[in-house]
């Protein structure tokens, strides 16, 4: 493990390093170039104090100008342009920050390992088999990319902790701690804990498909299965549907549509965001009282089968709405075709084309 302490006052102990190695050894094939163990032994891991960490994070964010996912607050994964690190991923971790999140040495060991492995997972998810190299492809859609990338990195990390739980109490506690920590992270990270508990698919599928829209269908079945198993969790169901729409694999079957219709709507509901998102078989805009609604973002995102989009005009629409159908040009479209019902198919076609820009 190539740990280089640049400025941290906290040293990582041999026992702490051993624990990280133990997790990585158990995770996958040790000789593959994209295995955790290979990564752990070949990537450079820099430790910095808080002042430096904040500086680097800011520089990183400035450089990325929004086209890279924001990373963990305790560590990050990036690449340097200068030799000898050119084009090689590096990991930067702030032990001082980790220390602030824990209440014992054991917890420090577990959280350090969690942060490190999360960052290694990013590297793993950037490995390109054809090029035999780590290639970071800037996401076309940072919102979607970050949710997927961060949650899958966390899902993979939790999986690694579970490879050692049969070794006794201390290991079981490490796994429980990691899972608990993830639930306290911001939603796009915490979602990884939920994925792990409910679905836990092979994260490398995401690596295969994330830069290739034509391959997104690969993940369709696990996602659909997952959605069906979680129908009572309304909010999460919406989020999943949003993902499916963003991935362009939103062909829900009729049973899913019925579940959509069964969403109970309280009289004073103010948030209808994502409500029907991804219901690609929905043909009509349902009759709902939206007079108290303040958020209709993506309410009908990906609902490509709605025959008369202009029915949306029957709703009271919040003044500052952004994207009800997942497109910003909805106003223009509705106005353009409002008085020409014969052109509705043209409108729907146009809607689809516009929508693709945001996937
Ligand atoms: Zn991350």
194 and 337, same domain (yes or no): no
CB atoms within 10 A of CB 352: 12
Give the CA radius of gyration of the chain.
Answer: 23
3-state secondary structure of 100: helix
The CA 268 to ligand 1 mean position distance, Å, reads 37
Residue from 20, 8, 1 nearest 114 by CA: 20
206, 236, 257 - which closes a domain: 206
Residue from 28, 1, 5 nearest 14 by CA: 1
234 and 323, same domain (yes or no): yes
The predicted structure's pLDDT at residue 222? 46
The CA 118 to ligand 1 mean position distance, Å, reads 6
Six token digits for residue 89:
């991923």
206, 221, 248 - which closes a domain: 206
122 and 218, same domain (yes or no): no
262 and 230, same domain (yes or no): yes
**pLDDT band at 99, cuts 50/70/90?**
very high
The CA 315 to ligand 1 mean position distance, Å, reads 40
Mean pLDDT value across the chain: 73
181 and 274, same domain (yes or no): no
The CA 342 to ligand 1 mean position distance, Å, reads 49
The CA 40 to ligand 1 mean position distance, Å, reads 16
246 and 193, same domain (yes or no): no
Q: Which residues surround ligand 1, an ion (CB under 5 A)?
A: 71-72, 150
Terminal CA-CA length for the chain: 39
The CA 71 to ligand 1 mean position distance, Å, reads 4
The predicted structure's pLDDT at residue 248? 45
The CA 45 to ligand 1 mean position distance, Å, reads 15
The CA 76 to ligand 1 mean position distance, Å, reads 7
14 and 48, same domain (yes or no): yes
201 and 268, same domain (yes or no): no
206, 229, 252 - which closes a domain: 206
246 and 343, same domain (yes or no): yes
Q: Which of the two residues, 41 and 262, has the higher pLDDT score?
A: 41
92 and 189, same domain (yes or no): yes
Res 251 pLDDT > 50:
no
Q: What is the pLDDT of residues 106-158, one digit of tens each?
A: 999 999 999 999 999 999 998 887 888 787 766 555 555 666 788 889 999 99
221: containing domain: 213-356
The CA 41 to ligand 1 mean position distance, Å, reads 20
151 and 251, same domain (yes or no): no
Domain tally for the chain?
2
285 and 309, same domain (yes or no): yes
The CA 154 to ligand 1 mean position distance, Å, reads 8
């Amino acid at each position: 493990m190539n740990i280089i302490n640049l400025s941290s006052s906290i040293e990582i102990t041999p026992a702490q390093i051993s624990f990280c190695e133990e997790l990585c050894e158990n995770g996958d094939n040790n000789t593959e170039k994209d295995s955790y163990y290979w990564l752990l032994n070949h990537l450079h891991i820099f430790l910095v104090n808080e002042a430096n960490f904040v500086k680097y994070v800011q520089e990183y964010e400035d450089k990325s100008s929004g086209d890279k996912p924001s990373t963990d607050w305790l560590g990050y994964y990036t690449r340097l342009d200068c030799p000898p690190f050119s084009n090689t991923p590096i990991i930067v971790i702030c032990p001082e920050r980790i220390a602030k999140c824990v209440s014992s040495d054991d917890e420090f060991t577990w959280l350090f390992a969690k942060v490190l492995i999360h960052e290694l997972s990013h590297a793993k998810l950037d490995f390109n088999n054809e090029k035999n190299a780590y290639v970071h492809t800037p996401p076309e859609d940072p919102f979607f990319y970050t949710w997927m990338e961060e949650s899958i990195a966390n899902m993979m990390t939790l999986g690694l902790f579970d490879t050692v739980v049969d070794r006794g109490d201390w290991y079981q506690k490490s796994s429980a701690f990691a899972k608990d920590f993830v639930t306290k992270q911001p939603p796009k990270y915490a979602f990884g804990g939920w994925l792990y508990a409910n679905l836990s698919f092979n994260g490398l599928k995401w690596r295969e498909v994330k830069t290739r829209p034509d391959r997104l269908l690969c993940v369709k079945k696990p996602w659909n299965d997952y959605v069906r198993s979680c129908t009572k969790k309304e909010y999460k169901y919406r989020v999943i549907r949003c993902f499916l729409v963003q991935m362009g694999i939103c062909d829900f079957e009729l049973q899913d549509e019925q579940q959509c219709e069964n969403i109970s709507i309280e009289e004073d509901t103010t948030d209808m965001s994502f409500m029907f998102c991804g219901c690609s078989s929905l043909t009509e805009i349902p009759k709902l009282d939206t007079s108290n609604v303040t958020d209709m973002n993506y309410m009908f995102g990906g609902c490509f089968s709605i025959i008369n989009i202009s029915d949306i005009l029957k709703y009271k629409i919040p003044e500052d709405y952004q994207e009800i159908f997942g497109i910003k040009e909805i106003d223009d479209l509705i106005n353009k075709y409002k008085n020409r019902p014969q052109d509705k198919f043209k409108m729907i076609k146009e809607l689809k084309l516009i929508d693709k820009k945001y996937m």
